[in-house]
Each structure stands twice: as structure tokens, then as C-alpha cells.
Structure 1
């Protein structure tokens, strides 16, 4: 019997019916509402739509926020209305089936470990490179959450003291230099420092606030020199972060997921090379395999549904 996995993000609520082999059989999507009740109504609506076409045993929620260690409630989610919300109790009552709750990056890591790029790895790390950096770590196939359920918050490792401001309230966090947002910020800085340098980004994006990582990635694929330099900076910072992570966790495999990972051919090799140069004991230790997601944007959906199925089993 399949389960429904739901990726609850700040922009959209994406749901899919997933079977025991990790295949997405059906899917739907709605915009994320701004209030708690409306959000829970939206989740109910996508489940009802999919249950009209499929019989399911359980529902898994992958949430972009801090989930309590008992996985019953959401403590805080920066782009969602839940604050200390007993999500499992509420949604189980609404839906009438068992509901499993998990952090979205943890769910994505489970999806890749069971069915994708990290399959079979004993120590596997997923990095979701998007607006920021989400991370999920599996040790012996089990999710590592830390003492209070919020680990590993790798995007907020401080890599540049007094560096770029971060929405978390600090400065110099890794995700300010290695994410889609960072890619856009780097391109704006490069254009400002080199006003005479030709670039399609200068012509197309007059307002710096309109610059996006997607636009920079597209320009880099087309050979734009400023976009290429911005991508090289992202690669360098990814390599620096991977070296830090290797010193702490020594993963067997690191899976790159999220929107930025779609442009991996532009930066992954350079990031691997930089990581190999700067990691402690360079040249005298095994290195993690760096792979891109095999499940694409369905990774968290597959992982959430898989966790739901494993719970009811």
C-alpha cells in the first residue's frame, strides 16, 4: 500500500503518492497559505485530492523548520506559520490516518539513502542548496538530529567573521556564500567592483535586487564571464564547507540537492578539487564521494512517504 509524502515549503505544498519502491505514482501542488489553519486546510486538500485516486495507509510531512526530537510538533519554521504547533496531533485528527513529521532535509536524506544517490552508504550527508543550505545526516542509515532535534544546521556555520548578513541574525554564515542567494549576491558584488567589464547580467539586470541565482546560472551556462566567476566563487565556498564537514563527520557520500544542484556541472568538479586540496590530511585520507540527487525535486516527498510507511510497518 502506498503513502502520501508532502513537502511543506514556504512557497508551495507539494504532495505525491509514493509506493514501497520509492516511485512517485501521482502528485499535486498548491501555494503555501500564510496562517496555521489555512496551511492545515491546504495539506488536507492535497491529501483528499490524492486519496480520491489512490488508497493510502499513511501520510508523511517534510517541513522546512525545526521539529521536536519526538517528531510530534514544529518548534519554529521561518517561512511557515507554525510556532510550537502540535502538527502530528492536528493533522492525524484531520486526515484519519497516521501522520509522520520530519525536517525536510532529513526526509530528503532518507529518500536518497533508500532509493537514490546515497543508497547503502553508512554515513551519508545531504546538502540542499537553494535559498539557503539545508542539511540531513544519516549515521548507519538512521537520522542524526542532535540533542534537541535541530542538527545539523550546517548552513549557519560561520565561515567569514563579520561577513555578509544572514537572516538568522548573524554575519558570515556559509549559506551566504554557497547558495542560490549567494550566487546572486556574488554576481552583484562583481559587477559593482568591475564596472567596465562586459556582462549580460549588467545589461539584463539593472536593479541589483532583481538578480537571482537562477539568472546567474543561466548566464554562466551561456559563457558570461561575470556569471562564470560567481559560479567559481560558489564552487570554492562549497569546497571549503565540504572540508569542514569532512573534519567533523567524515561522510562516505555527500549528496547535493536543491535548486542549485541542477547547475552542478558548472561547479561540482571545481568544488571537489578545492575540497581535496584544503581538507585536513589532504592527500593522505579517503575523501567523500560528491554526488548529485537522483530523485530531483521529489526527494523530500519520497523520503517523507518512506518514513510514514516504515512507521506503519
Structure 2
């Protein structure tokens, strides 16, 4: 059974036809014009029509950033697109003779990892996506957790520092301000300012005018001591957050995705260390695995398609 998955991002819309094994059979990508919300709807409709031509699809799933209601129909809020209480599913079903499912983009990516990636052998999994911000998804007893209003699993806004750094959500001290790619750049710049182990970071900043995620990632891969120190700081905060999440969710596995997760074991090692330091009842609480996501850039498309197929076959 084939389904279409659409992943709406801040800079691009990705789509694909996906089979029941999570294999993408056809795909395409187009730029996102975040300033034109209606144009995004038009492009999603056109992409679904193009992708379904020549394929026998049973449903289409659309993954969007932001808060989605419990009925998976309404987009409460999207940070980079001017959608506020947008009835996205209705707008799509009015123009497409096809079952449509709407979900949060992190939920879709997490579901893909659960079904076809790093979490396929467990029943309980927590995903943290470490990109510009921190996204999250929770699978509990084989079911995707959304919460009573549909806006749950916003793990990036777990508070780890009371009265800490201000966050874009309006709160202070969220893990997004200490465990994201943006946080890694801030930490790297602070180390560059001091000198010493930060000399290579400072030299790169002088040469390029600023530090970028690509530059810091390259220095991490080269085992530069300053870049590794920034990564260890990041891992400390993520591990502390995971310890708190374990006390509530008790997952068998934590999966880390996003650009920063390309550091692999260099990121996971400080996360594990901080997790064990802050884990309640350490020594008596079973310890989960910590792994890197496997599906990477295709997760949103694959997850959105699979969720749509699940919902279509359950009707």
C-alpha cells in the first residue's frame, strides 16, 4: 500500500510516494515561500497531484512545523509561516479526492524512526532533533504521543535552567537555548573569545567573518579541542534533560537527529555521562540506549506517509 508524504519546512517542501516498508518510490522538492501561506497550500496540492500520477496511493500525510490540534486537522501556530488556527486539512480535502492526515513535523520524523529506523525494535522511544532549535517526538507503547490538545512532545521547551536564557517561546531556560545548534554556536563563540583551546575557532571566525555550523562541525570532526569543549557543554545539558525525561517517560531508547547529531559518538558520550550523573535512583533505574537517527533527511516524508497509511487503513 502506497501513500504520499509531504514535509513542509521553512525553506523547502519535500514530498514522496512511500511504500509500506518505508521505501521512497518517487520524490520531489520545491522551495518554500514562507511569506505566502496560501501559495504553500497551492504547492502542496500540486505536489500531491503530481506524485499520485502513476501510483495507486491510499492517502497523503502532511507534516508541518508548529502546533497541530488533537483531531490532526487544524494548525494552531507555525513559527515560520503565517498560519494561525489554519484549517489545513479542510483546505486540502476540498481540493483533493484523497484521505489527508496532518501532523507535526517532529512527530512524523519520530514515527519514521520508530517504524523503520533506530527505534524499530522497541515499544517506547524518545526522539530529540538537534538542529537550529530542539524538536521532539515520543512513542509510548507503540503509539505516538500527542497530548490532550495535540500540542504535546514539545521537548525543546523543557526548562533546564530556572530564569535562564530567554527562549523564542516566551519562557526562560528551555533546553532549546542550551542544547540546540544555535546554542552550540554561542558556546563556540564564547570559547573563541577566551583564546587557549579556542584559537582555531577564533581563527576561523576571523577568516570567515563569523562562525557557522558547518565550520564548527568540521572542527569537531577534526577533534579540535575548542569545538569539542563546546560539544561537551551541549551534551551536558542534553543529558541532564534526558534524565528528567526518563523519570517521566521511561523510554527504552533515546534517538538523536538533526545536523548536530552528525557528530555521532562525540555527541552521545557526554550525553550519556550527564544522563547518568543526573538520573534519579541511578543503579536501580534501567538505562536506555542512546543512538543516532538513521533516516536523516527522509524521515519527515516517510513518517508523514506512514501515518497517513495507518489512519486510512484504520477507518
Q: Do the structures match in fold with TM over 0.5?
A: yes
Residue 10 to residue 268, structure 1, CA distance change in 2 (3 Å): same
Shift of 1:223: 2.3
Residue 77 to residue 204, structure 1, CA distance change in 2 (3 Å): same
Alpha-carbon RMSD = 1.8
Q: Deviations over 1:121-140 (max 9, x none)?
A: 22211111111111111111
Q: Which residue of 1 aligns with 2:68?
A: 67
Q: Which residue of 2 aligns with 1:231?
A: 231
- Using the alignment, how far apart are the partners of 1:69 and 1:137 within structure 2? 15
Do 2:113 and 2:293's aligned partners in 1 also have CA atoms closer than 8 Å?
yes
Q: Deviations over 1:155-191 (max 9, x none)?
A: 1122122322211122221111111111101111222
Q: Deviations over 1:99-148 (max 9, x none)?
A: 10011111112111111111142221111111111111111111211121
Q: Which residue of 2 aligns with 1:28?
A: 28
Number of aligned residue pairs: 312
**Alignment pair present for 1:149 and 2:150:** yes
- Using the alignment, how far apart are the partners of 2:185 and 2:208 within structure 1? 9
Do 1:68 and 1:75's aligned partners in 2 also have CA atoms closer than 8 Å?
yes
Residue 140 to residue 27, structure 1, CA distance change in 2 (3 Å): same
Q: Which residue of 2 aligns with 1:242?
A: 242
- Using the alignment, how far apart are the partners of 1:259 and 1:103 within structure 2? 19
Shift of 1:291: 1.6
Do 2:191 and 2:198's aligned partners in 1 also have CA atoms closer than 8 Å?
no
Q: Deviations over 1:236-265 (max 9, x none)?
A: 111111111111111111111122222223
Moved over 6 A (4+): none
Shift of 1:61: 0.6
Residue 210 to residue 81, structure 1, CA distance change in 2 (3 Å): farther
- Using the alignment, how far apart are the partners of 1:291 and 1:118 within structure 2? 9
SS at match of 2:13: strand
TM-score (norm 2): 0.93
Q: Deviations over 1:1-27 (max 9, x none)?
A: 311111111121111111011111121
Q: Which residue of 1 aligns with 2:293?
A: 293
**Alignment pair present for 1:215 and 2:194:** no
Residue 283 to residue 207, structure 1, CA distance change in 2 (3 Å): farther
1:1-313 correspondence to structure 2 within 5 Å: 1-33=1-33, 34-192=35-193, 194-195=194-195, 197-206=197-206, 210-313=210-313
- Using the alignment, how far apart are the partners of 2:288 and 2:84 within structure 1? 37
Residue 19 to residue 189, structure 1, CA distance change in 2 (3 Å): same
SS at match of 1:75: strand
SS at match of 1:175: helix
TM-score (norm 1): 0.94
Do 1:253 and 1:290's aligned partners in 2 also have CA atoms closer than 8 Å?
yes
